[in-house]
Amino acid sequence: MARALSTSEKNYSTTKRELLAIVFALKKFHPFLWGNPFTLYTDHKALTYIHTQPVANSMMIQWLDTILDYDFKIIHRPGIQNVLPDMLSRLFESERTLVGDKNQHKTWITPHIANSKNTNMTNRMMMPDDLVTPAPEERQELLLKIHLEGHRGSQAMVTTLHSEGIHWTNLKQDALDCINSCPDCQKFNVAKHGYHPLSSIYADAPWDHICIDTAGPMTTSIQGNNYILVVVDVFTRFCVLKAMPDKSSHTIALALRNILSLFGRPKIIQSDNGTEYVNDIIRKYTEISGIDHRLITAYHPRSNGIAERWVGKTKNIIYKRLQGKNDDWDLYLDSTQEALNNTPTALHDARPFSLMFARRPNQFKDYSDASIPTNYNETRKQFNGHITKFNNTVLPAIREKIKTSQTAAENKFNKSHRIIKEIPSGSQVMIKNINRTAKTDPLYIGNYTIVRKNQGGSYILVDGTGALLPRNIPPSHIKVISEEQSEVYIKI
């Protein structure tokens, strides 16, 4: 039993045409169906909700008296299994050439949809009466089934539901929530990394705070050196470069002792978590010397950015001077150090050498005819006056210039990066998989719980057993799953 559609019926939407077929069948088989419960199979899934949607749309209302006159339930049957009715609906084309389609240039009038963020073009091209709204308790199961078919994204899930004539308010957000609750998607989906506002390192005087790092391995030099110890003063940006045969704790300690015996002990030494810096020898040396040894967040070189920057500058200058003689790199180390210390830096527009020693560096010229001062009392008075002026005038001006430069750098960073708010304690998170070696390895691992943020801006985490992670995690390595407080955190 079948019939052709009228001219007006051909303009119906897919869902409305399918419902028209049901009403037509009910009327045709009325003597057999009326008063008897029966099951109706359809390959259009949206029609399975005509008995359960809370508010009937206008598409149903015009046939509601006919539909409610029968006792039946609707079951979805995929189109590939709905063979016989599908054959009756097929209209095979004749062999004659078709001149054209009168609906080929039909223009859709897209209605205005207020909540544009939670819909898409497919939904806008369908009239509101064409869409069926499932019951709230059925929506999560629908989303989960579509998502698990191929771990689809939110847009693909929405498009799939719209193609089946299904829609509800905030569908896009519900699809996103479904994806966020999928453990497998959380491990592999790339998240937007966030940063806390940039906080610059500040020192009040020369050689109060130094940053150290190791450059290398380099090509083994004729003298047997493979590494460079780079020491940078935070206030002046004065650097010291030391060639080393290896980066063992003993070698690092000897090189560091040699440098500090010349320039004095600083208040703070900042380094990464390499074994050459985190060992008993360095720990004892800093304890006896009264030095505060500060370690940066592991796997976050940005935390030691000053030393990292000077490592790059050192290598860049040396590589340009080698001219193919790569095993002579350590011969250029002293001149590289001199060049860096005599070059004004953008931080304070002054030469690091001049700020470190309160005088200008001597130029490359003949000093054999220079007169030797004879009035030592006058010379001493001039020197003391120079030092007083340096401490009372130059250093305050340099401090002000440094703060201005750092504020400008912080504002530039905050404008060009995605700044996030502090992650609340107790939030569920995943962290970047730093040991990932293959594409099949997950991008993120977890779950973990936020305990608190430390002074440096990184986070202290615990795992599912309540054990603390051995390292702190920077916010750029964190992917937030939920900001709700967890039971694990409450137990701590």
**Confidence grade of residue 107 (pLDDT, cut at 50, 70, 90):** very low
Query: Of the candidates 267, 323, 314, 257, which has an alpha carbon nearest to the alpha carbon of residue 290?
Result: 267
Q: Residue 398 carries which side chain, given as an amino acid letter?
A: I
Q: What is the pLDDT of residue 192?
A: 66
Q: Residue range 69-83: average pLDDT?
A: 82
Cα–Cα distance for residue pair 256/250, rounded to 1 Å: 10
- 122 pLDDT tier (thresholds 50, 70, 90): very low
Is the CA virtual torsion 318, 320, 322, 324 positive or negative? positive
The tens digit of pLDDT for each residue in 444-469 reads 887 889 888 887 788 889 988 888 88
Q: Is the pLDDT of residue 108 over 60?
A: no
Q: Which of the residue ranges 110-124, 128-142, 209-223, 327-341 would you say has the lowest mean pLDDT?
A: 110-124
DSSP character at residue 46: G
- What pLDDT is attached to residue 98? 47
Q: Please tell me the least confidently modeled range out of 177-181, 297-301, 305-309, 369-373.
A: 369-373
Which of 189-193, 283-287, 341-345 shows the lowest mean pLDDT across its residues?
189-193
For 49-64, the pLDDT digits (tens) are: 888 877 777 777 778 8
- Above 70 in pLDDT, residue 372? no
The CA distance from 478 to 427, in Å, is 11
Q: Which range among 34-38, 396-400, 421-425 shows the weakest confidence by mean pLDDT?
A: 421-425
- Residue ranges and CATH numbers for the domains of the chain are 9-88 (no CATH), 116-181 (no CATH), 209-395 (3.30.420.10), 428-491 (2.30.30)
The confidence score (pLDDT) of residue 92 equals: 55
Position 103 confidence tier, pLDDT thresholds 50, 70, 90: very low
Which of 8-22, 81-95, 227-241, 387-401 is the least confident region? 81-95
DSSP 295-354: EPPTT-GGGGHHHHHHHHHHHHHHHHHHTT-GGGGGGGHHHHHHHHHTSPPTTTSS-HHH
What is the model's pLDDT at position 300? 72
In sequence order, what are the beta bridge partners of 215? 228
pLDDT-derived band at 486, boundaries 50, 70, 90: very low
DSSP per position, 376-430: HHHHHHHHHHHHHHIIIIIHHHHHHHHHHHHHHHHHHHHHHS-B-PPPPTT-EEE
pLDDT tens-place string over residues 307-330: 999 999 999 999 999 988 999 999
Worst-scoring range by mean pLDDT, 23-37, 52-66, 373-387?
Answer: 373-387
Burial 364-391 (b: 16+ CB within 10 A, else e): eeeeeeeeeeeeeeeeeeeeeeeeeebe
Lowest mean pLDDT, pick from 67-81, 142-156, 294-308, 478-492: 478-492
Listed as own residue / partner, the contacts of 16-20 with beta carbons closer than 8 Å and 24 or more positions apart are 16/59, 16/129, 16/130, 18/42, 18/44, 18/46, 18/47, 19/47, 19/50, 19/59, 19/60, 19/63
Q: Residue 137 belongs to what H/E stretch?
A: helix 136-148
Average per-residue pLDDT for the chain: 82
Q: How far apart are the first and last CA of the chain?
A: 71
pLDDT of residue 206: 92
Tell me which of 132 and 81 has the higher pLDDT.
Answer: 132
Mean pLDDT over 333-350 rounds to: 93
Q: Which residues pair with 444 in a beta bridge?
A: 432
Mean pLDDT, residues 214-221: 92
Task: Please give the average per-residue pLDDT across 28-55, as a whole number.
Answer: 86
**Identity of the residue numbered 32:** F
The pLDDT value given to residue 490: 36
What pLDDT score does 375 carry? 57
pLDDT of 270 reads 93
At 66, is the pLDDT very low, low, confident or very high (cuts 50, 70, 90)?
confident
When pLDDT is cut at 50, 70 and 90, the band that residue 480 belongs to is confident
| DSSP-derived secondary structure for 159-190 | HHHHHTTB--TTHHHHHHHHHHT-HHHHHHS-
What does the alpha-carbon distance between residue 12 and residue 21 come to, in Å, rounded to a whole number? 12
What are the distances in angstroms from CA 16 to CA 63, 126, 130? 11, 11, 6
Which residue has better confidence, 361 or 240?
A: 240
Q: 220 falls in which pLDDT band (50, 70, 90)?
A: very high
What span, in angstroms and rounded, lies between the C-alpha atoms of 448 and 463? 5
3-state secondary structure of 241: strand
- % of the chain exceeding 90 in pLDDT: 26
pLDDT per residue as tens digits for the range 244-285: 999 999 999 999 999 999 999 999 999 988 899 999 999 999
Burial of 438 (0-12, 13-18, 19+ CB in 10 A): exposed
The pLDDT of residue 441 is 84
- Find out whether 15 and 44 touch, Cβ atoms under 8 Å: yes
Higher pLDDT, 17 or 381: 17
pLDDT above 60 for 335: yes
- Amino acid letter, residue 307: A
281 burial via Cβ count (<10 Å: 0-12, 13-18, 19+): middle
- Name the residue with higher pLDDT: 337 or 367: 337
Residue 90 is predicted with a pLDDT of 62
Q: How many residues does the chain have?
A: 492
**Sheet containing 428-432: which strands, arranged edge to edge?**
459-462, 444-453, 428-432, 478-482
Mean pLDDT of 234-246: 95
pLDDT at res. 247: 94
Selection from 255, 211, 212 nearest residue 235 by Cα: 211
Residue 491 confidence (pLDDT) above 50: no
pLDDT at 106 over 70: no
Stated as kind and residue range, the H or E segment containing 18 is: helix 14-28
Residues 211, 304 contacting (CB under 8 angstroms):
yes
